[in-house]
Every structure is written in structure tokens, then in C-alpha cells.
Chains A and B, each alone.
Chain A
Amino acid sequence: MTINEYIEFIILPILGVSIVLVGFRFLMGPTIADRIIALDLLITIGSGIICIYSLFANEPVLLDVAMILALIAFLSTVAFSYYLKKRKKK
């Protein structure tokens, strides 16, 4: 079993399952905060997947995407929290 096969048949599916689980929570909610966390988590896992995919496809270039993902995910979470608070204020 080469590392590529290993990744394709073990690691990526595990991550896929994780995505599905998180997606499930995203759907369930129940609170907005939960959805925000789910989104954050989705992006984070997404960046992990991209990372592993870059290994799988032998494309280090894709790591940059993972980096941007991580950066922006942070920004979006900050913004959402900001929103939650502002909304409360109102």
C-alpha cells in the first residue's frame, strides 16, 4: 500500500466523515453560535483536507490555499462574534 493509496482510502475518508458530522451539526444548530462554530470547523478541516490533498496530488502549491483558508476562517469567526454581540445590543 503506497502512501497515496493510504491517504486516499484511509485518511481522506476519515476527514470526509468528519466533514459530514460537522455538517450535520451545522444543519442541526440549534443556536447560531453552533452554526458559526461548525462553519469555522468546516473551514479548518477543509484546510486540512487541502493540505493532505496537496500531499496526495504532489502539489505543494496548494498549501498556500490552506494558509489563506486558515487566515480567513479566523476573520470570519471574529466577524460573526461581532455580529452576535451587536445584534444583542440592538
Chain B
Amino acid sequence: MLIAVLLGFIFSLLLVFIGRFLKGKLAVLSALVPLSLFFYFLKFIPQLSAGKIIRQNYEWVPSLGINLNFTLDGLSLIFCLMITGIGALVFLYTSSYLKGHRYLDRFYGYLGFFMASMLGVVLSDNIITLFIFWELTSISSFFLIGFNNQDPASRKSAVISIAITGAGGLLLLIGGLILGDVSGTYSIYEMLTQHQSIIGSEYYILIVLFIFGAAFTKSAQFPFHFWLPGAMKAPTPVSTYLHSATMVKAGIYLLLRLTPVLGTTNFWNITLICVGGFTMLYAAIHALFRVDMKSVLAYSTITALGMLVFLIGIGTRESILAAAVFILIHALYKATLFLVTGVVDHQTGTRNLEKLSGLRKVMMPIAIAGIIAAISGSGIPPTFGFLGKDLIYESSLQSLSPILITAVAVLTNMLLLYASFVVGVKPFTGKLPENFQNVKKPGFLLWAPPLLLAILCLLFGLFPGIIENVFAKPMLSALGFSADIHLKLWHGFNLILLLSAITIGGGLIIYAFVSPSGKSLNFIEKYETLSPRSIFLNFGNSIHGFSMFWTSVFQNGYLRNYIFTIVFFLVCIAGYSLLTNLNYRMDYASLARVDIYQITLSMVMLIGILFTVFSKSRLTAVASMGLIGYAICLFFVYYGAPDLAMTQFAIDTLTVILFVLVLYRLPKYLVLSNTKVRIMDGVLSLSLGILISLLALEVLNEPVNKEIAEYYAANSYLLAHGKNVVNVILVDFRGADTMIEISVLSVAAIGVFGLLKLRIKTLERRKFSKFKKFEK
């Protein structure tokens, strides 16, 4: 299975190098990848039907508990076959749809990458690994949505989608981590055994919220749904594959997968029902107002996703079964409709429903596919969709408040019927407008895939046994439900049939009376400011504004503010620490020990400092600074440090000289800051000074350790052959310091040299560009 997952990645990597060969006529060959995977997974059906679960483990980062534990069970299988099967058709379709496109190779690369990631998501048993693949699907989606990267709207949609699904991914990560922490394992399979302790844990609500966050963003639940209509900027094969059939179902997959781990609590169920229910209604109503075929499809996809969440929320065996079956139904008919839309778009150049009609005359196979898909999507017998609708009503009737929930379901289904018909039927019925008379017939690879899918819609409806045995039973047992079910198309006359009839009737009435128009689109767009999308964008803008504000407050360009902040920070925390625990004992004896020399020197220094700080002449300031240096030098003499005194003195003078050499090039002092600022600075500086003084005094009270000095004193002549201990330390005991020190000096000299001799300005740059030839 590792190879199966990696195959897509390898394929896309290879495309980087061999892409140019696959761009032309060989493009169709790329479908071999998903096709072979499809057959690979088909191979497992007998084993799974026999109740087996296939596991394969590969170590990856065992020290973090993250391994590639692939598990293929009934649930995974549904998704795997969908991913590879629809994938194969999409690959084929694309080879014709984007024939001769400059970047066809890239497109296949993204698709392959996506397919592999998606397989990873549904096969991973390790929840962190699942997250890893989950993020990869987001990225591939980003690239696919932004495929037409010259179009600003396309780029914007891509960024919005990555923002939302990326954020959701992080929620999944954190949810997974807590889950791992609570259950002690990252393996979902192992978590099953700990169901009770997980839902009893204090973190349960948190975990569920995070997981919901991930699933709702990925599966476009209200209020995160708006990225999906935006994602329709992607080429139609992408919308088909990612944004209806597979990727958006990853959230559903996650919810299904975790139902036995986290489910069966009221919190879980009610939240899902509410969110799912609201989403499906909201989106279904929105679909009424759209004129772009893809827009309609996008909202109807959101509706379907809401429906799925809703079903999972009901949480009974029947509803889970309904959800699983509906996933397949939706994948089949929605993929068909998307492909149909793609063909219409490809051939006529428009997706505007106001303009399209009567196309059956120019593209019969497509019309057939569209109509079958629409029927299936509307739940009209004998299609697969009808089977699904039955199951939905069956489970809604068993739920906590059957009437309300069923009513919502019925209403939604009516609207879904409208959406399916508007896309699958409307463009093909009626009169063919004149400007479409000459539309070319689509090629084989364009019409065959949707037709094939449409036929499947019909086939599964007629032979529900395939579904029951191959998918439904293994799936239910994988989720820990009893697999004792029997699917059939005809249940006899009962309430459910009645509901279906109402649905179909109502839906057809809506279809008859509402027609897509620009007016209604404009009408709904008036309320755009209230939509989650606008709220999200406004929120994003205010974050941006806040960031601007915060950044310009701190990074304001004024060096003195930076310094002020830093010193303030230091004074605050060090002062806090020192003052709260201060136990300084003033040692008056030490005061008495101060002699006249110290006082004199200190006075000289003080005068120097005052002059340096307050002088209005630069030269006086520099000279006073020199004075301070000399006083320090005398201190050194007084305390027995002649080497230091010499060096300090020489250095100090050299510094003053350097200053003097450059000073006359510099401007005169100006009084640049006002009194208030100066007082503030003064207070801060003084508090730092006091802090340092206190610290020094406090340290001086501590016992002293002289062992190092003693070692040097004892060994410097006998072992290191020198009598001036300071010098011996410098060139021997701590010679490494000196080696670096002279390196510092060297670098400084080079720096000064370069700084003064080398000036690259615009002029030199220009010269430099003439220089190019030399460089060549």
C-alpha cells in the first residue's frame, strides 16, 4: 500500500523531468496511474467482503509515535475506489479538455499529487499521518485552484481556500495530538478500544471542537463554506475531482472515521445535526440564485455535504449507512454533472444558464449523461439516487425529533432536485440558440467519462446488491455497526415513498417556476456584506490593519524608541526580581574605608560625566569623555593594575583622536528632544543606574572565591615562564581570548578600510553594470 500511496507522488515528481513528453499526445497515458491503482484496490474487495481488514505498517518517525500504518477497511475502500476510479476518468477527460495546454504536465502533476495525498488520508490509521496527508490535499487544492494563475480572482480563491483549509488542518493536528495524549496512541484503530475513556475525558469537548473545525472547513460547512464556490475558479476537472467527489469528502471521512471513537454523545450528534442541517438548507436556497452552472453545482455540493454531516449527526446505523451510500451517489452524479458542465463550457464557451438551452442537438451523449445524473441527483427511481433518498428519510424518521428533521430533509431535497435539473436538464432541453448552432461535437474522451459515470448511477440503482455487499457491509463493520442490512430499490408503499413523491413533486414545481436569472443573482449579491465570506474577509482586513498598527508601533523606525523599550524591559524584570527580594544590608564600614583619593577620583569622573552628558559642544563632550577615561586609568593605577592603566589610557586617547578626526565632518549638536522626553529618558537611565549599583553592592556582600587567581599566581612563573601574571594570562592561560581579540581588531580595521574606501552608489552601480563583461 505504501507504493500505492507513493505512486502518485512519484508520478508527479517524474513529471517535473519528463513532463514535456506527457504534454502532447501521450497525455492520455497518464490515466494509467489512477487506473492501475483502481484495479489494485478492486483486488481487495473479496478479502474485505469476507470481513478482513488489511493493515500494513511502515516505520517512519517512531520516536514521535508517527508511522505509516495503512489500514484498508470498508470505509477506506469506498474512498479509495472513488479516488482512483473517478480519478482515472478525470485524467482521461483532462487529456482532451486541456489538450495542448502549455502546463498540462503541471496539471497532471498536481492531480497525481492530490490523488496520492487523498489516498494517504483515507488509508492512514495514524491520526498524525492522516493530518500530514490532509495538509497535502490542501496544498494540491491550492495549486489546482490557482492553476489559471494569471487571473487575480483565481489567485484570491486559492489563497482563501488554503487559509481556511490550512487553519482547519491545524485544528486537526491539535485535535489529533490531544486525542493521542488522552488515549495514549495515535492509532485510530487502537483508540476504538478506549471510546469510553475518551468521551469521559475532560478534554473531550475540546477534541471534538477541533475535529469539527477540521472537518467543517474541509467539507465546506457553514460558516466556512464560502471557499468552495470560490474554488470553482479551478478548471472543471479539478472541480469534479476535488471539490465535489473526493477532497471535500475528506471532512466527511474524518467524521465517519471518528464516529466510533468520539461519537454517540449528545454534543457530537446535536452539533452535527445543527450545522449540517443549517448548511444544507442555506446552500440549497443559495443555489436558487445562481446562473453559472458551476456555481449552482458548488452550492448543491455544499448542500450535499451538509446533508452528509447531518446524517452522521443522526448517528444511527441507518443514518451512517445512508451517509455512506449518499457519498457514493453524490460522487457519481455530481462528478457527472461537473464533467457535463465542463463539456458545455468547453464547447460553447459559457456556463451561463440564461444563455444555454437545446444543446442535446449538438451533444447528445452529454445530454444523456446530464439527464441521468440529474435524475439520480434528484432521487428519482430507478436511479442510485432514489436508493439514497430512501435511506435518508428512513434515518431522519428515526432521529430525535423526526418531524422537524424530516421536514428540513424534504425541503433540502426539493431544492437539490432543482439544482440537479437546472444543470443536468435545462441546458439540453428547449430550443438551441442560433449562436450555438455550429458548436462542435465533443471528442470521445470528453463525453465518455461522464456517460460512464451516469451509467453507473443507473446501474447501482438497478443492482443495489453490488453496493450492499461490496461497500455497505464492510463499511458498517469497519465502523463497528452490525452489517445486517439489505438494500433494495422498492420498499412498497409507505411513508418514505410518500415523502419521496412529495420531494419530487415539490422539486419539479420549483424547477418549473424558478429559472436562473441575472436579476436574482444581483438580488442575492446585495446581501453579500452579510455573508460569511465578507465577514471573513473583513476580519482578515482588520487583522491586517491591526498587524500594521502593532508593527508600526513597535518597529517605528526610531532607534531611541527601540533602545528605550529594551532598557525598559530590562529594568522592569530585573528591577522586579531584585526589589521583591532585596535584602541588602548597608555596610557602613565600607563607607568609612573610602579615602581621599577615591573621593577625588570619583569627583573628577563625576565632573567628566556631567560634562559629557550636558555639554552643548561636541568637542567638550569628547574631551570630557577622555577625562573620564583618564580617571578610570588612575583608578586602575590605584588598585594595582598598571597594565590596565596603560592600555586604557592609550586606547582612550586613540578613541578621542579618532573622534576628533571625524568630528569636524559632523554637524553641530542640536537640541533634538523636548524636556518631557529628556525627563523620561533621565528617569529610565537613572533607574538602570540604580539597578546596577544595587546589584554591584549586593554582589560585593557575597563571599568571594579566588581559586583561579591563586592558581595563576602559583603557576605563572614556574609553568608559564612569565612574571607579569596579567600578561601570562593574556598570552598563555587565556591566550585563545587574545587570539580572537586580535582577530576582532583585524576585522574592525578591514571594516573601517572598506567603509571609507568603498562606496557603492547608483553611479558605481551603473559602472558595475558595464563591468558585466569583465565578469563574463
Do A and B interact? yes
Q: Which residues of A are interface residues toward B (Cβ below 8 A)?
A: 12, 16, 19-20, 23, 26-27, 29, 32, 35-36, 39, 42-43, 46, 49-50, 53, 59, 61-62, 64-65, 68-69, 72-73, 75-76, 79-80, 82-83, 86-87, 90
Residue among B607, B630, B661 making CB contact with A43, cutoff 8 Å = B630
Report the contact-size class of chain B (Cβ under 8 Å from the partner): 20 to 34
Q: B626: nearest residue on chain A (CB-CB)?
A: A39
Beyond A32-B619, A72-B653, is A39–B600 a contact (Cβ under 8 Å)? Answer: no
How far, in angstroms, from A35 to B617 measured CA to CA in the complex?
12
Cα distance A64–B650 in the bound complex, in angstroms: 13
A79 touches B637 (CB 8 A): no
Q: Which of A32, A39, A68, A79 contacts B649 (CB 8 A)?
A: A68
Inter-subunit contact A68/B657 (CB<8 Å):
no
B contact residues around A72 at 8 Å (CB): 649-650, 653
From A46, A53, A83, B661 is in contact (CB under 8 Å) with A83
Flag if B634 contacts A49 (CB, 8 Å). yes
Chain A residue at minimal CB-CB distance from B662:
A83
**Among the listed B604, B637, B657, which residue makes an inter-chain contact with A76, where contact means beta carbons less than 8 Å apart?**
B657
> Whose C-beta in chain B lies nearest to the C-beta of A24?
B607
Known contacts A35-B623, A43-B630, A50-B637; can you find 16 more A-B pairs with CB under 8 A? A12-B597, A20-B600, A36-B623, A39-B626, A42-B627, A50-B634, A61-B642, A64-B646, A65-B637, A65-B645, A65-B649, A68-B650, A69-B649, A82-B660, A83-B619, A90-B664
**Which one, B596, B597, B640, B657, contacts A79 given CB within 8 A?**
B657
**Structural contact, A83 and B627, CB atoms closer than 8 A:** no
B644 nearest CB neighbor, chain A only: A65
* Shortest Cβ distance from residue A45 to the other chain B in the assembled complex, whole angstroms: 11
Give chain B's interface residues, CB within 8 Å of chain A. 596-597, 600, 604, 607, 611, 617, 619-620, 623, 626-627, 630, 633-634, 637-638, 640, 642, 645-646, 649-650, 653, 656-657, 660-661, 663-664
**B623–A75 contact, CB under 8 A?**
no
Assembly CA distance A32 to B611 (angstroms): 14
Q: Which residue of A lies closest to B651 (CB)?
A: A72
Q: How far is the CB of B745 from chain A (nearest CB, A)?
A: 18
Minimum CB–CB distance for A25 against chain B, Å: 12
Q: Which residues on A sit within 8 Å (CB–CB) of B633? A: 46, 65, 69
Interface centre among B604, B634, B640, B653 (most CB of A within 10 A): B653
* Contact (A27, B623) CB under 8 Å given A49-B634, A79-B656, A83-B663: no
Whether the pair B619, A75 counts as a contact (CB closer than 8 A) is no
Do A19 and B611 touch across chains, with their CB atoms under 8 A apart? no
**Between-chain CB contacts (< 8 Å), 8 pairs:** A26-B623, A35-B619, A42-B627, A42-B630, A50-B634, A59-B640, A59-B642, A76-B656
- Across the interface, do B649 and A75 meet the contact criterion of CB distance under 8 Å? no
Residue from A39, A46, A59, A72 with most neighbouring chain B CB atoms (10 Å) = A72
A56–B495 alpha-carbon span in the complex (Å): 119
Are B646 and A68 in contact, with the CB atoms below 8 A?
yes
Check if A86 sits within 8 Å of B630, measured CB to CB: no
Q: Are A76 and B653 in touch, CB under 8 angstroms?
A: yes
CB distance from B460 to the nearest CB of A (A): 95
